[in-house]
Amino acid sequence: MAMWVFGYGSLIWKTGFPFDDRLPGFIKGYRRVFHQGSTDHRGTPEFPGRTVTLEPANGEICWGVAYKITNEQDKRDALTHLEVREKQYDQKEYLDFFTDSNDSEPAVTGVMVYIASPDKKSNNNYLGPAPLEDIAKQIVKAEGPSGPNRDYLFHLEEALVELGFKDKHVTDLAAQVRLILSETQELSNDVAANHV
């Protein structure tokens, strides 16, 4: 029996475990949102970054990539890697995965998906929804052991574009972050010009 894992965040561009096949596609009934606090990768406990999780959403789909792992040792290695990497994600779901929007039957059933739930008891890093501008400001400032939070967002945006997928939340947020960065750059240029 093959094990399948669905990646909708950094797993799209940075896998970190061996796999036999990689299928672009989507799951139904969820949307990708930047509601999860990252205190171990893209932020710190003092200043968490924001990473994606999934929230149930009727009629919506979330594009990403499913990885197929068949070798028993590879499965163990993948699970060991994922349990550490996704330790702030408190739920595992097994969902249907589709590769074509016209298909009524899933390409794969029982794809494993890590989800950070809004339950503060089991997920104390859940940050929840906020205005786009506030999320963008937080992403601009946050940095953790895996690097700046903005790199996570930009890599995700780029990976989705490369796959030909559109995600309005991701592109709107990336545009907002770029705007803040350009305004900050202009400000520091003005300050530097005034000190010449």
The predicted pLDDT at position 196 comes to: 52
Q: Residues in the chain with pLDDT < 50?
A: none
The predicted pLDDT at position 194 comes to: 61
Domains and CATH numbers, the chain: 3-190 (3.10.490.10)
Q: How many other C-beta atoms can be found within 10 angstroms of the C-beta atom of residue 57?
A: 14
Which of 91, 88, 152, 114 shows the shortest CA–CA distance to 27? 114
Q: Strand, helix or coil at 179?
A: helix
Sheet holding 3-7, edge to edge: 21-38, 49-69, 3-7, 108-115, 91-97
Q: Is 186 designated active site?
A: no
The predicted pLDDT at position 101 comes to: 85
The predicted pLDDT at position 103 comes to: 87
Mean pLDDT of the chain: 93
Exactly one of 55, 60, 86, 133 is catalytic; which is it? 86
The predicted pLDDT at position 195 comes to: 56
The predicted pLDDT at position 150 comes to: 97
Contacts of 51 (CB under 8 A, 6+ apart): 9, 10, 34, 36, 37, 38, 41, 42, 149, 152
The predicted pLDDT at position 185 comes to: 78
